[in-house]
Amino acid sequence: MNNDTIELMEGVPPQAPRASASLYVGDLPVDLPNPEDALFSLFNKVGMVISIKVCRDINTQRSLGYAYVNFQAPADAERAIETLNYTDIIPNHQIRIMWSSRDPSTRRAGVNNLFVKNIDPTISTRALRDAFAVFGPITSCKIAMDDNGNSRGYGFVQFDKEESWVKAQALDGTVLGAQPLSVKTFVKKSDREAEAAKTFVGVYIKNIKSSATQEEVSAEVAKFGEVKDIFVSPHSQHSTKYALVTFASHDNAVAVISQLNDSQGILSEAGVKLYVARAQKKTERQKMERQGQNLYQSQGRNVYVKHLDDSITKEKLEDLFQQFGKVTSCALMKDASGNFRGFGFVCFETKESAAAAIREMNGKQIFRRPLYVSQAQQRDMRHQVLDEQRRTMVAQQQRFNQQMMYHPGNQWGRYPAMPPQAFMPPFMMNGPQGPMRRPPMPRVQFPGPMNPRMNMMPMRPANFNQPPRAYTQPQPQRPPQGVANGISAQNLAKMSPEEQKNALGERLYSKINEVNPSQAAKITGMLLEMETGEILNVLEDQRLLVAKVNEAVTVLQQHESNIH
């Protein structure tokens, strides 16, 4: 370390005391056995530790390499940073300690962060921090290490204030140890990858027939532009070869992908299609493979929970679901600003526990709205399922509209498939509903899982098999607008309340008629008392629909037994 660095170390300004007693501990070995015990043994020497939380992958329960340590006194937390930062938790593996921040937006945005490379291998993280600390308080400092604890020659320094970050860039070119530092503004990996996707020139081609030569491959890809370099696997371990091609320009690379990917030609065997895509680094491919493995391992065990209250915590969520089996992990989803998004995930140890949780908790009234609980799905898979459901619903609605009968007076009548006694419920009547001459009905309470708006429902008298008297209409009205093109909250917002009831009623009746044809009219009228958002959830989720229908049937049976 040179004299300039020593002078910088002597000029380090004192850090202002903090009221927080919570610390972030990073760079933990992901395979460290019993990390909670190891951290407690280390930090408890400084002061009384209240809690330690090691963050883990929601699917595999593997440590993510960081944790949070909460002290009873802020002074103990400050002393832990001063004395334990960059301590070896295991040989050749240092931990990094910083103050815990409740607002992750600053850290995620990468503000006031510098990327430092060409770091001398003899420079430690503490020495790098001391070199930069002369410009102001440092939030985080890190030198990247390999698996053996050796420096990779680059690191990151993040400042608390922008003015310190600007001044510290003056160290670009300064010699630290035996090498001049390169200090640049930090750019997030996602931004770098997005930029690389716009400028890549490397292309990977597989499923090339084993008899193809490098000259044949070169001649074929050269049709799309100048080739700077090409590699074709000399021997095929299977029945095909692969190639790596570097083009002179990004446009050439994009052209060969768009033209050759998923195609058959002179480079492939008959019936075999080429796979052509952007060439990826090994680390990028391994990351995608791990994500796929994690998804496969958690299939059937991961549960999606929606309509959670803002007051929910991870501990409360786990307590809510652990009655069905061992919960390996749970997570509450937040946006970039740290605001709760109203949903989360619970991962169980077994598929049977997850199935029981979905069966018992879906539609259950815990907070202001009934919970929506279902199998967690990958985003593209979920969109595919929803699209298929919407297409099915549209087809059913088209058949539904073809069966409808329109009678004089603009009243919706019976369906040919319905028994003569089963007239349309009120939602099928058009225009203002006139008084119905019938004795007052008893009110029956739904069981707990039903929506609170459905708790008290007017029912028909004992002679409900007799057709009720017709509703009166002051003047002719338009028939309900069709919903053959699908229905959404946006479409409903454009309708009047009566049109909303008509549209939702048509769709509900079509779905309920498949589950319980004999009581579809009654059940539809009951479910229409729910909130619009809950009705849309019922229309999208077949399991939730069946649960609501079963609850309504139970109420009807109870009412009939009370009458007789």
What is the full per-residue pLDDT of the chain (564 aa) written as tens digits? 344 443 444 444 445 455 688 999 998 988 888 899 999 999 999 999 999 999 887 667 788 899 999 999 999 999 999 899 988 898 888 899 988 876 656 666 668 899 999 999 999 888 999 999 999 988 889 898 887 778 899 999 999 889 999 999 999 999 998 899 999 999 887 777 777 778 889 999 999 888 888 899 999 999 999 999 999 888 656 678 889 999 999 999 999 999 999 898 888 888 889 999 988 888 777 776 665 555 555 567 889 999 898 888 888 899 999 899 999 888 888 876 677 888 999 999 888 899 889 988 888 888 777 888 988 876 655 566 566 666 665 565 555 444 443 333 333 443 333 443 333 444 333 333 333 333 333 333 333 334 333 333 333 333 333 333 333 333 333 333 333 335 666 677 777 777 777 888 888 888 898 888 888 888 888 888 787 778 888 888 888 888 888 888 888 777 666 555
Four-way CATH pick for 201-278: 3.30.70.330, 3.40.50.450, 3.40.50.720, 3.40.50.970? 3.30.70.330
Q: What distance in Å separates the CA atoms of residue 231 and residue 406, rounded to the nearest whole number? A: 72
**Fold assignment, 300-376:** Alpha-Beta Plaits (3.30.70)
b/e string for 282-300 if b means 16 or more Cβ within 10 A? Answer: eeeeeeeeeeeebeeebee
- Say which DSSP state 68 is in: E
Q: What distance in Å separates the CA atoms of residue 541 and residue 544, rounded to the nearest whole number? A: 5
Residue 529 and residue 454 in contact, taking contact as beta carbons nearer than 8 Å: yes
Q: What distance in Å separates the CA atoms of residue 10 and residue 15, rounded to the nearest whole number? A: 14
- Say which DSSP state 248 is in: S
374 token code pair: 């279902």
Q: Shortest CA distance to 218 belongs to which of 209, 210, 228?
A: 228
pLDDT of residue 255: 92
pLDDT of residue 367: 78
Q: Shortest CA distance to 137 belongs to which of 109, 167, 116?
A: 167
Helix count and strand count (H, E) for the chain: 18, 24
Q: Please check whether the two domains, 3-187 and 382-563, share a CATH topology.
A: no
pLDDT of residue 238: 63
* Residue 142 neighbours by CB under 8 Å, 6+ apart: 26, 27, 96, 125, 155, 156
pLDDT of residue 395: 60
Q: Three-state SS for 121?
A: coil
**Fold assignment, 382-563:** c-terminal domain of poly(a) binding protein (1.10.1900)
Q: CA angle, corner 538, sides to 537 and 541, nearest 5? A: 85
- Say which DSSP state 469 is in: P
Q: Give the residue carrying structure tokens 């020139």.
A: 201
Domain ranges of the chain: 3-187, 201-278, 300-376, 382-563
Angle at which helices 3-10 and 125-133 cross, to 10° = 70
pLDDT of residue 70: 93
Q: What distance in Å separates the CA atoms of residue 373 and residue 317, rounded to the nearest whole number? A: 12
**Fold assignment, 3-187:** Alpha-Beta Plaits (3.30.70)
